[in-house]
Amino acid sequence: MAQANSPSSPPDRLGSVFYTSVALCALFVLWATLFTDSLDTVTKAALNWITGSFGWVYLGASLAMLGFLALLAFSRFGRIRLGADDDRPEFSTISWLAMILAAVMGIGLVSYGVSEPIAHFADPPHDLAPPGTKHAAVVAMQYSFFDWGLHAWAIFAVFGIALGYSTHRKGRKGLISPMLRPLLGDRVEGPLGKAIDVLAIFATLFGTTTSLGLGALQINGGLARVFGASGGTGTQVVIIAVVTLLFTISAITGLHKGIRFLSETSMGLTVVLFGFVLVLGPTGFVFNLLAESLGQYFGDFIPMSLRTGTFGELGWMQSWTYFMLAWWISWGAFVGVFLARISKGRTIREFVLAVLGVPSAVFFLWFTAFGGSAIFHDAFRGGHIAQAAAEDSNNAIFAMLETLPWPTVTSVIAMALVLLFFVSGADANTFVLSMLSSDGAARPRTSVLTLWGALTGVTAIVLLIAGGLDALQNTVIVTAAPFVLVMIALAVSLWRELQQDPLFSPEVEPELAATGSKDPKM
């Protein structure tokens, strides 16, 4: 990431950013533990005000990021490398994509792959179709694609390119604040810059705790449905505690050993489970639904991207669209640091096309195979998957797998995937939290990794106890709100810097024209 630190200065220096962020997180845990009702009242009031008055900002900003990335990829800036012009990728393309998918949003494949499409099929968004109809099936997939496709990955890609450019090409620290120097000047070295880094840590923490909470609920639901195990908050707390120990140990082993092994293992199991459902499920129906839903998704892309739910749909938007966009924005710093770390040597064009295209395609295929199978069973076989999902969304994937052969085996694989995605995502996140709070150190000290692992687990536990999934969703929307402005500022700063890149200096441009080379030496 950043340039190597000199021997005279410790590579993991702890300063005000570390102590302030830890103190704020500790205060939040105490607030949630001792004054649960107060926390609930404040977050709900903030949620209603932010989404009611500024929900359109989430929509507009994410759409703007997509346009910005298209401009970067297909302009002259697309050939700039995230690093020196002679740098080449550290990881193979397969390993690179596996690490992106597993460590970023893998847990959503299992938690939402069936539950979201079947929920939208039974109760279509914005009354766009009668429930349970053919059109409802298409709308269900269309909005699932919206929540998990291009908009999410555009947010991640902007952070990733900005961080990769700043650290690998400019040699800066792996922090958010230095990237804003074109806008803020030397103030990034002062209290304002430190406040931005603390905000990045805070937003990242709550993005992760939301995933931890969802993972615990999903594993608990699987154990209860498949094996008849007792559920409840106590079981969920135990699950989080065990997984926190696992991902903290994994984070301490380092990026290459821990995250890479978990990512590649989880990708292997994902391919096996996906192939099983696609081949033994309603294959023809799935591909027909995929084609029609993609057509609807791209045909309605702009109206769907800017639909605010002004007329009486705020509750639905808070549960789905606003929550999802806020969740992705809160993950922006974490994913950006992680993507930058594993993408050194790749061009901006390669980065944009891969990060937007490949994960989106994987999620579209997965959601259609799993969600489409559930829709087919309810629509044509008299199934009750939608009912099971309404009772508890964590039942959805297991209810769908029960319609196929060997449901116990496939359900165990699904739970194993949740666990692996759970550990690999939190593992990478613990590494990033430690890095952001250690002045951008590429190898944070073990004690810092351990502390952030523990804080992440404890925060997830207190939020689950305080209010379950609603508390997780409300908190992530509220804490991500100010980070929208940081994301916009980041894009503006990156654009200014790219215009001054040495690749396009007066000395280099004639060389490009004469030789046709795309990689001149700097």
Contact present, 311 and 126 (Cβ < 8 Å): no
pLDDT at 131: 94
Alpha carbon distance 415, 327 (integer Å)? 23
Structural domain boundaries, residue 252: 16-501
Judged on CB neighbours under 10 Å (0-12, 13-18, 19+), 285 is middle
Q: What is the pLDDT of residues 378-387, one digit of tens each?
A: 999 988 999 9
Judged on CB neighbours under 10 Å (0-12, 13-18, 19+), 234 is exposed
* Mean pLDDT, rounded, for 285-311: 92
pLDDT reading at 7 higher than 50: no
**Among the ranges given (123-132, 350-359, 434-443), the one the predictor scored with the smallest mean pLDDT:** 434-443
pLDDT at 120: 95
**Among the ranges given (14-18, 197-201, 233-237, 338-342), the one the predictor scored with the smallest mean pLDDT:** 233-237
pLDDT at 4: 39
pLDDT at 513: 41
Alpha carbon distance 252, 308 (integer Å)? 43
What is the maximum span of the chain, computed from C-alpha positions, in angstroms? 72
DSSP class of residue 126 equals: G
Amino acid at 262: L
Residue 457 three-state SS: helix
Amino acid at 115: S
pLDDT reading at 487 higher than 50: yes
pLDDT band at 213; cut points 50, 70, 90:
confident
Question: What is the enclosing helix (H) or strand (E) of 452?
Answer: helix 446-499
CA nearest neighbour of 490 among 194, 255, 183, 250: 183
Alpha carbon distance 97, 92 (integer Å)? 9
Sign of CA dihedral 248, 31, 328, 169: negative
Establish if 5 belongs to a structural domain: no
pLDDT at 2: 38
* Mean pLDDT, rounded, for 235-261: 72
Establish if 520 belongs to a structural domain: no
CATH number for position 29: 1.20.1740
Tokens read off for 45: 């009031």
Q: What is the pLDDT of residues 400-444, one digit of tens each?
A: 999 999 999 999 998 888 888 777 777 777 888 888 888 878 788
DSSP class of residue 472 equals: H
Establish if 37 belongs to a structural domain: yes
Alpha carbon distance 366, 388 (integer Å)? 20
pLDDT band at 454; cut points 50, 70, 90:
confident
pLDDT at 103: 55
Q: What are the φ/ψ torsions at residue 209 (nearest 5 degrees)? A: -65, -30
Establish if 506 belongs to a structural domain: no
Establish if 452 belongs to a structural domain: yes
Amino acid at 159: F
More confident residue, 178 or 515: 178
Alpha carbon distance 212, 226 (integer Å)? 21
Alpha carbon distance 510, 130 (integer Å)? 61
* Mean pLDDT, rounded, for 274-288: 95
Q: What is the pLDDT of residues 216-240, one digit of tens each?
A: 888 888 888 777 777 677 788 888 8
pLDDT at 253: 67
Q: Please, how many CA atoms are within 13 Å of residue 451, restricted to the half-sphere of its CB?
A: 18
Q: Estimate the crossing angle of helix 283-299 against helix 348-380, to 10 degrees.
A: 120
Establish if 521 belongs to a structural domain: no
Establish if 516 belongs to a structural domain: no
Alpha carbon distance 376, 71 (integer Å)? 40
DSSP class of residue 81 equals: B
Q: What is the pLDDT of residues 165-175, one digit of tens each?
A: 999 998 888 88
CA-to-CA separations, 96 to 202, 208, 332, 338, 428, in angstroms, rounded? 27, 21, 18, 11, 14
Alpha carbon distance 178, 234 (integer Å)? 43
Contact present, 467 and 40 (Cβ < 8 Å): yes
pLDDT band at 140; cut points 50, 70, 90:
very high
CA-to-CA separations, 7 to 189, 239, 449, 485, in angstroms, rounded? 22, 42, 22, 37
In percent, the amount of the chain with pLDDT more than 90 equals 34
Establish if 6 belongs to a structural domain: no
Q: What is the pLDDT of residues 73-104, one digit of tens each?
A: 999 999 999 988 888 888 888 878 877 776 56
Give the 3-state secondary structure percentages of the chain, helix then strand then coil, rounded to 5.
Answer: 80, 0, 20
pTM for this predicted structure:
0.86
Contact present, 361 and 451 (Cβ < 8 Å): no
Contact present, 178 and 497 (Cβ < 8 Å): no
CA-to-CA separations, 465 to 6, 213, 460, 468, in angstroms, rounded? 45, 10, 9, 6
pLDDT at 68: 96
Sequence-ordered list of residues with C-beta below 8 angstroms from that of 491, at least 6 positions apart, any chain: 64, 65, 68, 158, 162
pLDDT band at 337; cut points 50, 70, 90:
confident
Q: How many CB atoms lie within 10 A of CB 468?
A: 14
More confident residue, 440 or 188: 188
> What total of structural domains would you count in the chain?
1
CA nearest neighbour of 329 among 191, 461, 490: 490
pLDDT band at 461; cut points 50, 70, 90:
confident
